[in-house]
Amino acid sequence: MSELRYPLKERLHDVVTERALQRVWRGIDDRQRTRAPRRLARGLVLLAFAALAVAIGVVLGLALRTREPRPPRLADGRPFAAVDAATRAVIALDDGSAIRLWPGTRLEPADAELGTFGLRLARGEARFDMRGGGPRRWSVECGLATVEAVDAEFHCTRGAGRLRVSVERGTALARGAAVPEHMRWLGAGDSLELGETAKIE
C-alpha cells in the first residue's frame, strides 16, 4: 500500500463554519413553520369542500322531496275524505280530475305508496276521470282487483262478489288474484268482469 504524498488531514478543510450551520438549521426551522400553516390551510379547504358537498346533498334531497307529487285535494282545498253518496254526485279535485258517484256508493281514501293517490271503492259505482298533469298515479282498490292509471278515465261497478271495470280513455292496469294471469292492461273501449260471470271484452 503506497503512502500519500501529502497527509490527507492537511488537505481536508472544514468549509462549514458554525455560522453557516446555524443558517442551515434556521432555514429548516423556517420551512417547517411555513409547512404547518400550509397543511392547516389544505385541511381547511378539504373540510370546506366536504361541508359544501353535504350542503348540496341536503338541498338536492329537499328539492326532490318537494317535487314528489302530493295527493290531489278537493277543488276548495280540503283533503279528500270518505264519501257515502245518497244521490248522484261529482267530486271535483284541484288538479282538474273528477270522480262521479252513483247512489249507494262508498268511496274512501286508502293507503298508497309515495306518489300514488290511493282510493277504495267499498261498494257501488264510480267513474274516475283522471287528468294527469304529472307523474302521480292513481290506485283504486275495488275488492277483486286494484285498478291503476296515470291519465285515464275508467268506470268501476262493485257488487257482492263481482266487479266490472271499463276504460273510456287512456290505459289502466287491473291487478289481483282474480284477474287472469294476475294482471291485465285495459285500453280505451276494453272492459273486464270478475266474479260469477267473469269475462274480458
126 with 155: CB under 8 angstroms? Answer: yes
Asked if residue 110 and residue 163 are part of one domain, the reply reads yes
Residue 117 lies in a domain: yes
**Residue 159: φ, ψ to 5°:** -120, -170
Residue 114 lies in a domain: yes
All three cell numbers of 100: 262521479
Place of cell 326532490: 64
Asked if residue 53 and residue 88 are part of one domain, the reply reads no
CATH of residue 117:
2.60.120.1440
Number of domains in the chain: 2
All three cell numbers of 70: 302530493
Residue 91 lies in a domain: yes
Please give the residue that has the higher pLDDT: either 25 or 189.
189
Residue 78 lies in a domain: no
pTM over 0.85, yes/no: no
**Residue 30: φ, ψ to 5°:** -65, -40
For residue 200, name the pLDDT band (cuts at 50, 70, 90).
very low
Q: What is the pLDDT of residues 56-106, one digit of tens each?
A: 665 555 544 544 556 678 888 888 889 999 999 999 988 889 999 999 999
Asked if residue 190 and residue 95 are part of one domain, the reply reads yes
What does DSSP say about strands 106-109 and 83-84: parallel, antiparallel, or unpaired? antiparallel
Give me the domain span that covers residue 63.
Answer: 9-67
Asked if residue 152 and residue 119 are part of one domain, the reply reads yes
Residue 76 lies in a domain: no
Asked if residue 109 and residue 57 are part of one domain, the reply reads no
pLDDT at 66: 45
pLDDT at 101: 96
Asked if residue 109 and residue 35 are part of one domain, the reply reads no
Asked if residue 107 and residue 153 are part of one domain, the reply reads yes
Beta-carbon contacts of residue 71 (< 8 Å; ≥ 6 apart):
79, 80, 117, 118, 136
Residue 48 lies in a domain: yes
Q: What is the pLDDT of residues 101-155, one digit of tens each?
A: 999 999 999 887 777 889 999 999 999 998 866 557 899 999 999 999 988 999 9
Residue (of 61, 173, 153) closest to 99 by Cα position: 153
Asked if residue 183 and residue 99 are part of one domain, the reply reads yes
141 with 165: CB under 8 angstroms? Answer: no
Over range 160-178, report the average pLDDT. Answer: 93
Asked if residue 180 and residue 138 are part of one domain, the reply reads yes
pLDDT at 141: 95
Residue (of 144, 148, 138, 146) closest to 116 by Cα position: 138
Asked if residue 183 and residue 87 are part of one domain, the reply reads yes
For residue 13, name the pLDDT band (cuts at 50, 70, 90).
low
Over range 178-185, report the average pLDDT. Answer: 92
Residue 2 lies in a domain: no
Asked if residue 110 and residue 179 are part of one domain, the reply reads yes
User: How many C-beta atoms surround the C-beta of residue 181 within 10 A?
Assistant: 5
Please give the residue that has the higher pLDDT: either 47 or 63.
47
pLDDT at 99: 94
Asked if residue 101 and residue 57 are part of one domain, the reply reads no
DSSP classification of residue 103: T
Residue 113 lies in a domain: yes
